[in-house]
């Protein structure tokens, strides 16, 4: 703390003394009184032990300049003191000034003046250390430049990041052409930023940082610098207000929802309160420090997509402006909306490519790359397309290698990465939000709490497993420690050295410290997100309690692993001393080489066992059938088992390759000492390494095959689930009165009665009259040719038919209605308007085309070969008949309400029937067309059910050849066939894709006479 004192300096004291002496003289001495100059001093100590560390990635920003500031109460950035290493001892400062405030400010300025230059490393990593007393927001920017320094940006966009002005020399990274391709370094102007809030908390001795184990670190905070954190930082700085944890959480949530949408935001539940806790992943070089979870992969793919766009700066500016206006996607500003559309295309392509990387071979990756390039560059010339296609071979190879490295580094498993890739692709199909979607409500927070609970639970499970591994490692450490110290002799020294080496190798492979640190950093993100939830409602307190408990436990695990590392380092030093003390370099080297080779042999045995398991599981999956629902379900289980087995096989090979590399190091060290048999060891290990590479390739091939089998089985299961609904729909249609022979007969019988009575009345030659039909004794009639009206009634059944007509040029328009009875008490009603006058007016308008079929009830329109009246209608020829009827059919089971439309073209001897409406709870449409040829009638029929499944039954044919067709339904956003249909004598027979044959009887779908 700064200690404030007020004192007189020697100069001030001298002046005061002189003034005191002269005051005793006479006034003639002309001495002028001088006011003493008061000087203020501020002095104090400072230690810089609060670590803020992270990575700047868009891909990785190498040798980028790191600038550190803080934010004042108005959100403006101001300098802050920091160091590039934790303080081992306090730094002392002392300054003088004419006021205490000036002295204090001078001390702070001295602290700031000692700030070092900080650059990122090749991975984009940086670490800075703040004063122990610091609390508040720290604002960090990371910048690469196109010219003037050694900063570079790595391209992690699969479709490339533009072009070099001058092609670089060919090396391990660059292929020597002018295209900036995936994994290549290039110069550009880019500035990313992050705002991290450092709370006033108790000292944290966990040392969870890039320098884990540093006893001088009192508290450590992750502050990754990414595209999303830059947007959040810009919003915070533009707010003009102070920044705290709540402000960062709100800006983070708003940014993610605006850019990615609410569904994708839920994938980021672990870091949604502070995006700087994760997401710093360079897809071209995944180091394994951060797990490739769903949310982290989503951020990485978003960042990769943006880097592949023409101008990163313009994209960031547009997104920032869109977020501030409340809506990025679909913004009223055409330029911002265009950027949103372009970003959607880019991220969709990236997601497609990543699925190919995670689940396919290099050929599949090449195909995805070429498709993405074409979509991203619709105006590309053929030469540009060809050039990218040629380069895609190399890009696919690098992308596949990057994925394999991520798996080998422990960032994910093959199976986990494949599942995540498919899930993220779905989540990113529609990014951003519009309208009400941009405002999160209670439902979102409930879903977020659930997602966060899943994350915390998974991390707690991982921590429990890690704690068991730590206990095992500590036990092994104790065993080796017991071999040293006072127990160490010339006889066991070589064994001790070998045991230490094996322990060190095992520790390097296990990576316990990194795993503990990863869980601890995650827990920090969980706590931040949970606090944001509790701000919304105290109902989420349990989530915060669980996250806090995890953080405490993870901190203990970090402390344990740090202590383990320190103890192991002491053992390594003791082993090195033992080699010199007992002069056992050759003996120790020989034993270490032999023991590490034995470990490689053990890993080889594990890999061979895993290969056998994977090969067997794959064979079972390949032999599985997917022809029925039960078989498909079993096939899916077998395929998933094969995927897991292949993933385990790949992990076993990775462990084997690490063991071989460690054994080769030991064997070469033994060779340098001219050890006997060393070369033979190296030769054997080299041969094993070659075989391991082949095993790795086999594991990759088996994984791709198994995953494709899983996809095929998933498809079959999904199809067969749809098939169940298809069959149910077919069954429901077959029992509907309107589609059965019974229902059809009811309508046909009414038409026959109407035709008979009209013919009978015509033969009578009267203009009007009433009576009972001689042909249909139960039917009474009343008609008027002058008024063109007809009424038929059946006193026995209660049925009735009425009609009113009008001559309209070359048309006779009839408005009609009916109440009919069919077999088994089926009732059929042709609905008409309340009055015949209104009904006829509507039908005349319908015939004229001024209203459509949805605005009428039941109409019949005859079109003649010329204008007709009552005087010439008998001599006119009908060329077209059209009817549109509002029909209601009830049979006590299904019933039907809808429209029945019929057209008959006498000139072409063709016609069509359309029936559209609802029966039961099924909304469907039937369309039948028929054509009379010289030989026989040809017909086509389509029945479409208006539901999400899109059920369609299509049949075509004629009487001699038979009527056949397909049953179609929507699957995976496409129509596909679920069976073939054939007309039978008394109905319909459908053979479904699972081999099931179902006959539907009493179905009379195609019959033009009706």
* pLDDT tens digits, one per residue of 532-543: 999 999 999 999
**308 touches 338 (CB < 8 A):** no
Work out the percent of the chain whose per-residue pLDDT is above 70.
90
Please tell me the predicted confidence (pLDDT) of residue 747: 55
pLDDT, tens only, 159-175: 888 888 887 877 777 87
- Reported confidence tier of residue 983, pLDDT bands at 50, 70, 90: confident
pLDDT digits (tens, 9 = 90+) for 213-223: 567 888 889 99
pLDDT of 61 above 90: yes
Percent of the chain at pLDDT exceeding 90: 49
Residue 453 or 737, more confident = 453
Residue 59: pLDDT band (50, 70, 90) is confident
- Assess whether the previous peptide bond of 59 is cis (omega < 30° from 0): yes
Would you say 92 and 44 are in contact if contact means Cβ atoms under 8 Å apart? yes
CA distance 832 to 848: 19
Q: Supply the DSSP symbol for 856.
A: -
Task: Report the pLDDT averaged over residues 837-858.
Answer: 91
Output the pLDDT for position 936. Answer: 58
Please answer whether residues 1002 and 986 qualify as being in contact, where contact means their C-beta atoms are separated by less than 8 angstroms.
yes
Residues 308 and 348 sit within 8 Å (Cβ to Cβ): no
User: Which of 2-6, 279-283, 751-755: highest mean pLDDT?
Assistant: 279-283
Does residue 209 have a pLDDT over 50?
A: no
Q: What is the pLDDT of residues 355-402, one digit of tens each?
A: 999 998 999 999 999 999 888 788 888 888 888 888 899 999 999 999
Is the model's pLDDT at 480 over the cut of 90? yes
Half-sphere exposure of 266 (CA within 13 A, CB side): 18
Reading across the β-sheet that carries 91-97, which strands appear in turn? 2-6, 40-46, 91-97
Q: What is the pLDDT of residues 640-664, one digit of tens each?
A: 999 999 999 999 999 999 999 999 9
Higher pLDDT, 544 or 5: 544
Distance CA 104, CA 96 (A): 9
Predicted confidence band at 739 (pLDDT cuts at 50, 70, 90)? low
Report yes or no: 82 and 253 within 8 Å, Cβ to Cβ. Answer: no
Q: What is the pLDDT of residue 912?
A: 78
Question: Can you give the pLDDT at residue 367?
Answer: 93
pLDDT category at 8 given cuts 50, 70, 90 is very low
Please tell me whether residue 859 adopts helix, strand or coil conformation. Answer: strand
Summarize the confidence of residues 41-53 as an average pLDDT: 90
| Interval 323-361: pLDDT, tens | 888 888 888 888 899 899 989 999 999 999 999 999 989
718 vs 754 pLDDT, higher one: 718
Residue pair 898/853 in contact by the 8 Å Cβ criterion: no
Q: Which helix (H) or strand (E) is 27 found in, with range? A: none
Comparing 242 with 734, the larger pLDDT belongs to 242
pLDDT computed for residue 937 by the predictor: 67
What phi-psi label fits residue 895: left (phi over 0), alpha (psi between -120 and 50 degrees) or beta?
left
Q: Of 910, 915, 953, 906, nearest to 929 (Cα)?
A: 910
- What does the alpha-carbon distance between residue 10 and residue 42 come to, in Å, rounded to a whole number? 17
Tens-digit pLDDT profile for residues 582-624: 999 999 999 999 999 999 999 999 999 999 999 999 999 999 9
Query: Rounded distance, CA 994 to CA 469, Å?
Result: 49
CB 650 within 8 A of CB 696: yes
Which tops the pLDDT comparison, 97 or 249? 249
Q: Do 933 and 919 touch, CB atoms closer than 8 A?
A: no
Average pLDDT of the chain to the nearest whole number:
86
Q: Is the pLDDT of residue 676 over 60?
A: yes
Query: Has residue 734 got a pLDDT over 80?
Result: no
* pTM for this model (two decimals): 0.74
CA 669, CA 184: separation in Å to the nearest integer? 35
Q: Please determine, for residue 26, whether its predicted confidence score (pLDDT) is greater than 60.
A: no
Residue whose C-alpha is closest to residue 649's, from 708, 593, 706: 706
Residue 347 · residue 431 · CB < 8 Å: yes
Q: How do residues 98-144 score in pLDDT, each as one tens digit?
A: 888 888 888 888 989 999 999 999 999 999 999 998 999 999 999 99
User: What per-residue string of b and e applies to 444-459 under the rule 16 or more CB within 10 Å gives b?
Assistant: bbebbbebbbebbeeb
State the pLDDT at residue 750: 61
Location of structure tokens 């015939």: 847
Name which residue leads in pLDDT, 477 or 412.
Answer: 477
Q: How far is CA 444 from CA 253, 264, 265, 451, 997, in A?
A: 11, 12, 10, 10, 47
Instruction: Give 740's DSSP letter.
Output: B
pLDDT of residue 555: 92
Q: Which has more confidence, 893 or 714?
A: 714
Residues contacting 901, CB < 8 A, separation 6+: 853, 882, 883, 884, 885, 912, 913, 914, 915, 916
- CA 525 to CA 519: how far, in whole Å? 10
Q: Which two tokens stand for residue 482?
A: 């017991």
Please tell me the distance from the alpha carbon of residue 854 to that of residue 830, in angstroms, as a whole number. 15
- Measured in degrees and rounded to the nearest 5, phi and psi for residue 846 equal -65, -45
Q: Which DSSP state fits 35?
A: P
Long-range contacts from 712-716, C-beta under 8 angstroms, 24+ separation: 712/626, 712/639, 713/621, 713/624, 713/626, 713/632, 713/635, 713/636, 713/638, 713/639, 714/636, 715/972, 716/626, 716/632, 716/635, 716/636
Instruction: Select the highest-mean-pLDDT range: 61-70, 625-634, 735-744, 918-927.
Output: 61-70
Task: Express each pLDDT in 905-934 by its tens digit.
Answer: 777 777 777 888 887 777 888 877 777 655
3-state DSSP percent of the chain in helix, strand and coil, to 5: 50, 20, 30
Average of per-residue pLDDT across 791-819: 89
Determine the pLDDT at residue 310: 76
pLDDT score of 30: 56
Q: Are β-strands 962-971 and 952-958 bridged in parallel, bridged antiparallel, or unpaired?
A: antiparallel
- Orientation angle between helical segments 512-536 and 493-510, nearest 10 degrees: 30
Give the pLDDT confidence of 559-572 residue by residue, as tens digits.
999 999 999 999 99
Confidence of residue 474 (pLDDT cuts 50, 70, 90): very high
Using a 10 angstrom Cβ sphere, with 0-12 exposed, 13-18 middle and 19 or more buried, the burial of residue 622 is: middle
Q: What are the phi and psi torsion angles at 818 (to 5°)?
A: -160, 150
Question: Is the per-residue pLDDT at 13 higher than 50?
Answer: no
> Which of the pair, 936 or 766, is modelled with greater confidence?
766
Per-residue confidence (pLDDT) for residue 757, from 0 to 100: 76
Q: Span 887-894, mean pLDDT?
A: 71
Look at residue 547 and tell me whether its pLDDT is greater than 90: yes
Distance CA 518, CA 288 (A): 10
Exposed, middle or buried: residue 796 (CB in 10 Å: 0-12, 13-18, 19+)? exposed
User: What is the predicted pLDDT for the residue at 682?
Assistant: 96
């Amino acid at each position: 703390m700064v200690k404030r004192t007020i004192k007189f300096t020697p100069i001030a004291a001298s002046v005061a003394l002189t003034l005191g002496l002269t005051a005793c003289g006479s006034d003639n001495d002309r001495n002028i009184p001088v006011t003493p100059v008061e000087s203020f001093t501020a002095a104090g100590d400072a230690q810089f032990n609060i670590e803020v560390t992270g990575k700047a990635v868009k891909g990785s920003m190498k040798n980028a300049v790191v600038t550190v500031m803080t934010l004042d109460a108005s959100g403006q950035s101001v300098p802050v003191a920091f160091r590039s290493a934790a303080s081992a001892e306090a730094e002392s400062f002392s300054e003088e000034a004419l006021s205490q405030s000036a002295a204090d400010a001078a001390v702070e300025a001295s602290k700031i003046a000692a700030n070092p230059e900080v650059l990122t490393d090749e991975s984009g990593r940086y670490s800075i250390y703040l004063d122990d007393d610091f609390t508040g927001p720290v604002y960090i920017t990371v910048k690469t430049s196109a010219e003037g320094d050694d900063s570079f940006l790595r391209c992690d966009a699969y479709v490339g990041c533009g072009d070099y002005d001058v092609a670089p020399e060919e090396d391990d990274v660059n292929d020597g052409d002018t295209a900036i391709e995936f994994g290549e370094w290039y110069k550009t102007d880019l500035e990313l930023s992050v705002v991290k809030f450092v709370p006033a908390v108790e000292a944290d001795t966990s040392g969870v940082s890039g320098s884990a184990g540093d006893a001088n670190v009192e508290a450590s905070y992750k502050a990754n610098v990414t595209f999303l954190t830059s947007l959040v930082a810009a919003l915070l700085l533009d707010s003009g207000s102070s920044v705290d944890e709540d402000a960062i959480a709100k800006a983070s949530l708003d940014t993610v929802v605006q850019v990615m949408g609410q569904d994708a935001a839920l994938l980021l539940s672990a870091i949604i309160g502070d995006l700087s806790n994760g997401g710093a992943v360079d897809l071209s070089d995944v180091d394994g420090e951060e797990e490739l979870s769903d949310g982290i992969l989503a951020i990485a793919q978003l960042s990769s997509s943006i880097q592949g766009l023409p101008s990163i700066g313009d994209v960031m500016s547009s997104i920032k402006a869109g977020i501030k206006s409340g809506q990025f996607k679909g913004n009223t500003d055409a330029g911002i909306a265009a950027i949103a559309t372009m970003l959607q295309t880019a991220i969709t392509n990236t997601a497609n490519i990543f699925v190919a990387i995670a689940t396919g071979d290099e050929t599949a990756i090449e195909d995805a790359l070429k498709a993405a390039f074409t979509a991203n560059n619709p105006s590309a010339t053929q030469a540009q397309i060809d050039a990218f296609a040629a380069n895609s071979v190399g890009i696919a190879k690098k992308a596949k290698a990057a994925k394999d490295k991520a798996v080998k580094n422990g960032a994910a498993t093959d199976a986990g990465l494949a599942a995540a890739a498919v899930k993220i692709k779905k989540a990113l199909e529609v990014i951003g939000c519009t309208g009400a979607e941009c405002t999160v409500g209670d439902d979102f927070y409930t879903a977020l709490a659930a997602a966060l609970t899943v994350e915390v639970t998974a991390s707690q499970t991982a921590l429990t497993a890690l704690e068991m591994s730590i206990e095992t490692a500590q036990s092994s450490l104790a065993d080796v420690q017991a071999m040293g110290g006072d127990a160490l002799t010339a006889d066991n020294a070589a064994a001790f050295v070998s045991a230490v080496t094996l322990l060190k190798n095992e520790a390097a492979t296990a990576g316990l410290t990194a795993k503990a640190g990863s869980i601890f950093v995650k827990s920090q993100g969980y706590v931040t997100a949970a606090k944001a939830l509790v701000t919304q409602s105290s109902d989420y307190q349990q989530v915060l309690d669980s996250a806090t408990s995890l953080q405490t436990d993870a901190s203990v695990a970090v402390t344990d692993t740090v202590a383990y590392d320190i103890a192991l380092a002491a053992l390594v030093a003791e082993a090195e001393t033992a080699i010199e003390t007992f002069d056992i370099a050759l003996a120790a080297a020989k034993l270490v080489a032999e023991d590490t080779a034995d470990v490689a042999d053990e890993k080889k045995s594990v890999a061979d066992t895993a290969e056998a398991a994977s090969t067997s599981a794959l064979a079972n999956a390949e032999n599985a059938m997917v022809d029925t629902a039960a078989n498909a379900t079993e096939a899916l289980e077998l395929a998933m088992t094969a995927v897991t087995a292949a993933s385990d096989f790949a992990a076993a090979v990775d462990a084997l390759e690490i063991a071989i590399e460690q054994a080769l190091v030991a064997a070469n060290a033994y060779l340098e000492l001219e050890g006997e048999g060393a070369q033979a060891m190296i030769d054997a290990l080299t041969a094993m390494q070659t075989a391991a590479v082949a095993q790795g390739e086999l594991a990759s091939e088996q994984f791709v095959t198994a995953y494709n089998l899983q996809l095929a089985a998933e498809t079959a299961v999904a199809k067969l689930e749809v098939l169940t609904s298809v069959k149910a729909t077919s069954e429901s249609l077959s029992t509907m009165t309107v589609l059965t022979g019974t229902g059809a007969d009811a309508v046909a019988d009414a038409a026959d009665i109407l035709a008979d009575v009209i013919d009978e009345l015509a033969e009578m030659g009267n203009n009007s009259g009433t009576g009972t039909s001689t042909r249909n004794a139960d039917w009474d009639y009343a008609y008027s040719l002058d008024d063109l009206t007809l009424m038929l009634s059946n006193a026995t059944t209660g049925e009735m038919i009425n009609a009113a007509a009008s001559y309209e040029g070359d048309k006779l328009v009839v408005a009609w209605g009916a109440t009919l009875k069919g077999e088994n008490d089926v009732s059929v009603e042709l609905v008409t308007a309340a009055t015949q006058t209104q009904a006829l007016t509507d039908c005349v308008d319908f015939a004229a085309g001024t209203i459509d079929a949805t605005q009428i009830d039941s109409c019949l329109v005859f079109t003649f070969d010329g204008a007709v009246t009552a005087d010439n209608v008998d001599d006119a020829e009908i060329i077209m008949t059209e009817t549109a009827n509002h029909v209601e059919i009830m049979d006590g089971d299904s019933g039907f309400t809808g429209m029945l439309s019929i057209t008959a073209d006498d000139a072409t001897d063709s016609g069509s029937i359309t029936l559209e409406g609802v029966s039961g709870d099924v909304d469907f449409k039937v369309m039948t067309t028929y054509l009379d040829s010289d030989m026989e009638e040809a017909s086509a029929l389509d029945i479409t059910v208006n539901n999400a499944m899109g059920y369609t039954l299509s049949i075509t044919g004629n009487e001699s050849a038979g009527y056949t067709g397909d049953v179609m339904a929507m699957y995976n956003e496409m129509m596909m066939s679920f069976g073939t249909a054939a007309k039978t004598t008394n109905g319909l027979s459908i053979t479904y894709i699972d081999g099931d044959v179902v006959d539907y009887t009493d179905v009379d779908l195609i019959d033009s006479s009706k």
